Amino acid sequence: MPTVKHTEHHFTSGELVRDIVIGMSDGLTVPFALAAGLSGAVDSARIVITAGLAEIAAGSIAMGLGGYLAARSDAEHYASERKREEQEVVKIPEEEKREVSQVFESYGLTPAESRPVVEALSKRPKAWVDFMMRFELGLEEPESGRALRSAMTIALAYIFGGLIPLSPYFALKSAHEALGLSILVTILALAIFGYLKGRATGTSAVRSAAQTSVIGGLAAAAAFGLAKLIA
Protein backbone atom coordinates (compact mmCIF):
# COMPACT_ATOMS: atom_id res chain seq x y z
CA MET A 1 0.00 0.00 0.00
CA PRO A 2 1.57 3.34 -1.00
CA THR A 3 2.32 5.77 1.77
CA VAL A 4 1.32 9.38 1.60
CA LYS A 5 3.98 11.82 2.69
CA HIS A 6 2.66 14.11 5.40
CA THR A 7 3.79 17.69 5.16
CA GLU A 8 3.07 20.06 8.02
CA HIS A 9 2.74 23.77 7.39
CA HIS A 10 3.59 25.93 10.35
CA PHE A 11 3.92 29.67 10.72
CA THR A 12 7.67 30.27 11.13
CA SER A 13 8.13 34.00 10.49
CA GLY A 14 6.60 35.31 13.69
CA GLU A 15 9.34 37.81 14.57
CA LEU A 16 9.49 39.31 11.07
CA VAL A 17 5.71 39.64 10.86
CA ARG A 18 5.61 41.12 14.36
CA ASP A 19 8.13 43.80 13.38
CA ILE A 20 6.25 44.62 10.18
CA VAL A 21 2.97 44.82 12.10
CA ILE A 22 4.50 47.13 14.71
CA GLY A 23 5.98 49.45 12.09
CA MET A 24 3.09 49.43 9.63
CA SER A 25 0.30 49.80 12.18
CA ASP A 26 1.90 52.85 13.80
CA GLY A 27 3.13 54.19 10.45
CA LEU A 28 -0.37 54.14 9.01
CA THR A 29 -2.13 55.40 12.12
CA VAL A 30 0.06 58.15 13.62
CA PRO A 31 0.82 60.19 10.46
CA PHE A 32 -2.80 59.68 9.39
CA ALA A 33 -4.03 61.12 12.66
CA LEU A 34 -1.51 63.97 12.44
CA ALA A 35 -2.50 64.83 8.87
CA ALA A 36 -6.18 64.72 9.76
CA GLY A 37 -5.63 66.89 12.80
CA LEU A 38 -3.65 69.50 10.87
CA SER A 39 -6.22 69.47 8.07
CA GLY A 40 -8.80 70.47 10.62
CA ALA A 41 -6.75 73.52 11.57
CA VAL A 42 -5.09 74.67 8.33
CA ASP A 43 -5.81 74.39 4.61
CA SER A 44 -2.22 74.21 3.38
CA ALA A 45 -1.18 70.81 2.08
CA ARG A 46 2.44 71.94 2.22
CA ILE A 47 2.26 72.43 5.99
CA VAL A 48 0.71 68.99 6.41
CA ILE A 49 3.42 67.42 4.24
CA THR A 50 6.22 69.15 6.16
CA ALA A 51 4.84 68.14 9.54
CA GLY A 52 4.02 64.65 8.30
CA LEU A 53 7.50 63.99 6.91
CA ALA A 54 9.07 65.30 10.11
CA GLU A 55 6.87 62.97 12.13
CA ILE A 56 7.68 60.00 9.89
CA ALA A 57 11.41 60.67 10.24
CA ALA A 58 11.23 61.01 14.02
CA GLY A 59 8.75 58.16 14.41
CA SER A 60 10.71 55.69 12.29
CA ILE A 61 13.91 56.42 14.22
CA ALA A 62 12.17 56.12 17.58
CA MET A 63 10.32 52.94 16.62
CA GLY A 64 13.44 51.39 15.07
CA LEU A 65 15.50 52.22 18.14
CA GLY A 66 12.81 50.74 20.37
CA GLY A 67 12.84 47.54 18.33
CA TYR A 68 16.64 47.39 18.48
CA LEU A 69 16.75 47.86 22.25
CA ALA A 70 13.98 45.30 22.80
CA ALA A 71 15.79 42.68 20.69
CA ARG A 72 19.11 43.45 22.42
CA SER A 73 17.41 43.08 25.78
CA ASP A 74 16.01 39.68 24.75
CA ALA A 75 19.47 38.53 23.62
CA GLU A 76 21.12 39.73 26.83
CA HIS A 77 18.44 38.08 28.95
CA TYR A 78 18.87 34.80 27.09
CA ALA A 79 22.66 34.91 27.48
CA SER A 80 22.38 35.65 31.19
CA GLU A 81 19.91 32.83 31.83
CA ARG A 82 21.95 30.36 29.77
CA LYS A 83 25.10 31.17 31.73
CA ARG A 84 23.20 30.56 34.95
CA GLU A 85 21.87 27.20 33.70
CA GLU A 86 25.36 26.15 32.56
CA GLN A 87 26.65 26.82 36.05
CA GLU A 88 23.78 25.00 37.73
CA VAL A 89 24.16 21.75 35.75
CA VAL A 90 27.74 21.65 37.04
CA LYS A 91 27.20 22.83 40.63
CA ILE A 92 23.79 21.30 41.43
CA PRO A 93 23.25 18.52 38.86
CA GLU A 94 20.81 16.53 41.03
CA GLU A 95 18.53 19.53 41.46
CA GLU A 96 18.64 20.15 37.71
CA LYS A 97 17.80 16.49 37.06
CA ARG A 98 14.81 16.84 39.34
CA GLU A 99 13.65 19.88 37.37
CA VAL A 100 13.99 17.98 34.08
CA SER A 101 11.96 15.14 35.55
CA GLN A 102 9.27 17.61 36.61
CA VAL A 103 9.06 18.88 33.04
CA PHE A 104 8.48 15.36 31.73
CA GLU A 105 5.98 14.64 34.49
CA SER A 106 4.03 17.75 33.47
CA TYR A 107 3.50 15.97 30.14
CA GLY A 108 2.12 12.88 31.88
CA LEU A 109 5.25 10.71 32.21
CA THR A 110 5.84 8.89 35.46
CA PRO A 111 9.14 9.32 37.40
CA ALA A 112 10.12 5.78 36.33
CA GLU A 113 9.46 6.56 32.67
CA SER A 114 11.34 9.85 32.72
CA ARG A 115 14.36 8.63 34.75
CA PRO A 116 16.33 7.00 31.87
CA VAL A 117 15.70 10.00 29.64
CA VAL A 118 16.88 12.36 32.38
CA GLU A 119 20.04 10.29 32.92
CA ALA A 120 20.78 10.20 29.20
CA LEU A 121 20.24 13.93 28.89
CA SER A 122 22.51 14.67 31.85
CA LYS A 123 25.40 13.06 29.96
CA ARG A 124 25.06 15.71 27.23
CA PRO A 125 25.67 19.07 28.97
CA LYS A 126 24.90 21.28 25.96
CA ALA A 127 21.69 19.43 25.12
CA TRP A 128 20.82 19.47 28.81
CA VAL A 129 21.14 23.25 28.98
CA ASP A 130 19.26 23.62 25.68
CA PHE A 131 16.42 21.55 27.14
CA MET A 132 16.26 23.61 30.32
CA MET A 133 16.29 26.89 28.41
CA ARG A 134 13.42 25.85 26.19
CA PHE A 135 11.21 23.75 28.45
CA GLU A 136 11.91 25.09 31.94
CA LEU A 137 12.37 28.78 31.13
CA GLY A 138 10.48 28.94 27.84
CA LEU A 139 13.30 30.83 26.12
CA GLU A 140 14.42 30.45 22.51
CA GLU A 141 17.90 31.50 21.42
CA PRO A 142 17.64 34.81 19.51
CA GLU A 143 18.95 34.77 15.95
CA SER A 144 22.30 36.41 15.29
CA GLY A 145 21.83 39.99 14.09
CA ARG A 146 18.21 39.99 15.19
CA ALA A 147 18.42 43.42 16.86
CA LEU A 148 19.61 45.25 13.74
CA ARG A 149 17.16 43.44 11.45
CA SER A 150 14.32 44.23 13.82
CA ALA A 151 15.23 47.93 13.91
CA MET A 152 15.49 48.19 10.13
CA THR A 153 12.25 46.27 9.52
CA ILE A 154 10.23 48.36 11.96
CA ALA A 155 11.69 51.65 10.69
CA LEU A 156 11.14 50.85 7.01
CA ALA A 157 7.62 49.55 7.66
CA TYR A 158 6.85 52.75 9.56
CA ILE A 159 8.13 54.92 6.69
CA PHE A 160 6.20 52.94 4.09
CA GLY A 161 3.02 53.06 6.15
CA GLY A 162 3.41 56.75 6.97
CA LEU A 163 3.74 57.84 3.35
CA ILE A 164 0.37 56.33 2.43
CA PRO A 165 -1.87 58.85 4.27
CA LEU A 166 0.39 61.71 3.13
CA SER A 167 0.32 60.78 -0.56
CA PRO A 168 -2.86 62.77 -1.43
CA TYR A 169 -1.31 65.92 0.03
CA PHE A 170 1.48 65.76 -2.55
CA ALA A 171 -1.11 65.87 -5.35
CA LEU A 172 -3.45 68.54 -3.95
CA LYS A 173 -2.71 72.01 -2.62
CA SER A 174 -5.73 72.19 -0.32
CA ALA A 175 -5.40 70.16 2.84
CA HIS A 176 -9.17 70.03 3.21
CA GLU A 177 -9.53 68.48 -0.25
CA ALA A 178 -6.65 66.07 0.33
CA LEU A 179 -8.11 64.91 3.65
CA GLY A 180 -11.06 63.11 2.07
CA LEU A 181 -8.81 61.22 -0.34
CA SER A 182 -6.34 60.51 2.46
CA ILE A 183 -9.13 58.96 4.52
CA LEU A 184 -10.18 56.67 1.67
CA VAL A 185 -6.62 55.63 0.81
CA THR A 186 -5.60 55.04 4.43
CA ILE A 187 -8.71 53.13 5.49
CA LEU A 188 -8.27 50.91 2.43
CA ALA A 189 -4.59 50.41 3.28
CA LEU A 190 -5.47 49.62 6.90
CA ALA A 191 -8.06 47.08 5.77
CA ILE A 192 -5.63 45.39 3.36
CA PHE A 193 -2.87 45.41 5.96
CA GLY A 194 -5.17 43.97 8.62
CA TYR A 195 -6.41 41.30 6.23
CA LEU A 196 -2.89 40.22 5.26
CA LYS A 197 -1.82 40.26 8.91
CA GLY A 198 -4.72 37.98 9.79
CA ARG A 199 -3.84 35.60 6.96
CA ALA A 200 -0.18 35.54 7.96
CA THR A 201 -0.85 34.84 11.64
CA GLY A 202 -3.68 32.36 11.09
CA THR A 203 -6.37 34.50 12.74
CA SER A 204 -9.60 35.77 11.20
CA ALA A 205 -8.49 37.94 8.28
CA VAL A 206 -11.83 39.78 8.08
CA ARG A 207 -11.88 40.57 11.80
CA SER A 208 -8.26 41.72 11.66
CA ALA A 209 -9.05 44.02 8.71
CA ALA A 210 -12.04 45.49 10.55
CA GLN A 211 -10.05 46.06 13.74
CA THR A 212 -7.18 47.91 12.07
CA SER A 213 -9.57 50.04 10.01
CA VAL A 214 -11.66 51.03 13.01
CA ILE A 215 -8.65 51.85 15.19
CA GLY A 216 -7.03 53.98 12.48
CA GLY A 217 -10.31 55.75 11.72
CA LEU A 218 -10.95 56.53 15.39
CA ALA A 219 -7.44 57.92 15.85
CA ALA A 220 -7.82 60.23 12.84
CA ALA A 221 -11.33 61.30 13.87
CA ALA A 222 -10.15 62.14 17.38
CA ALA A 223 -7.22 64.22 16.06
CA PHE A 224 -9.41 66.02 13.51
CA GLY A 225 -12.12 66.76 16.07
CA LEU A 226 -9.60 68.06 18.61
CA ALA A 227 -7.95 70.32 16.03
CA LYS A 228 -11.35 71.71 14.96
CA LEU A 229 -12.29 72.31 18.60
CA ILE A 230 -9.08 74.17 19.37
CA ALA A 231 -9.02 76.09 16.08
pLDDT the model gives residue 167: 92
> Does 2 map to a domain?
no
> Does 48 map to a domain?
yes
The string of pLDDT tens digits covering residues 143-162 is 878 889 999 999 999 999 99
pLDDT the model gives residue 231: 55
The share of the chain scoring above pLDDT 90, in percent, equals: 19
Q: Which residues sit opposite 174 in a β-bridge?
A: 44
Among 36-45, 92-101, 116-125, 210-219, the least confident range: 210-219
> Does 173 map to a domain?
yes
Grade residue 8 by pLDDT with cuts at 50, 70 and 90: very low
> Does 131 map to a domain?
no
Amino acid at 85: E
Intra-chain end-to-end CA distance of the chain, in Å: 78
pLDDT the model gives residue 228: 65
- The dihedrals phi and psi of 4, each to the nearest 5 degrees, come to -100, 120
> Does 169 map to a domain?
yes
> Does 158 map to a domain?
yes
Instruction: With H, G, I as helix, E, B as strand and everything else as coil, classify residue 202.
Output: coil
Question: Rounded to 10 degrees, what is the CA torsion of 117, 121, 123, 127?
Answer: 160
Q: At what angle do helices 146-171 and 14-39 cross, to 10 degrees?
A: 30
**Sign of the torsion formed by the C-alpha atoms of 180, 41, 49 and 66:** negative
Q: Please say whether the beta carbons of 38 and 222 come within 8 A.
A: no
Among 64-78, 107-121, 147-161, 166-180, the least confident range: 107-121
Q: Which of 51, 59, 12 is nearest to 35 (CA)?
A: 51
The string of pLDDT tens digits covering residues 79-118 is 888 899 888 888 888 888 888 888 888 888 888 888 888 8
> Does 117 map to a domain?
no
Q: Check whether 61 has a pLDDT greater than 70.
A: yes
User: How many structural domains is the chain composed of?
Assistant: 1
Q: Which domain holds residue 217?
A: 14-81+143-230
> Does 224 map to a domain?
yes
Tell me how far CA of residue 172 lies from CA of 44, 89, 187, in angstroms: 9, 67, 19
Q: What's the rounded Cα separation, in Å, for the pair 211 and 28?
A: 13
What count of other Cβ atoms lies within 10 Å of the Cβ of residue 13? 10
Provide the mean pLDDT of the chain: 83
**Sign of the torsion formed by the C-alpha atoms of 216, 218, 219 and 221:** positive
Q: What is the mean pLDDT of residues 157-173?
A: 92
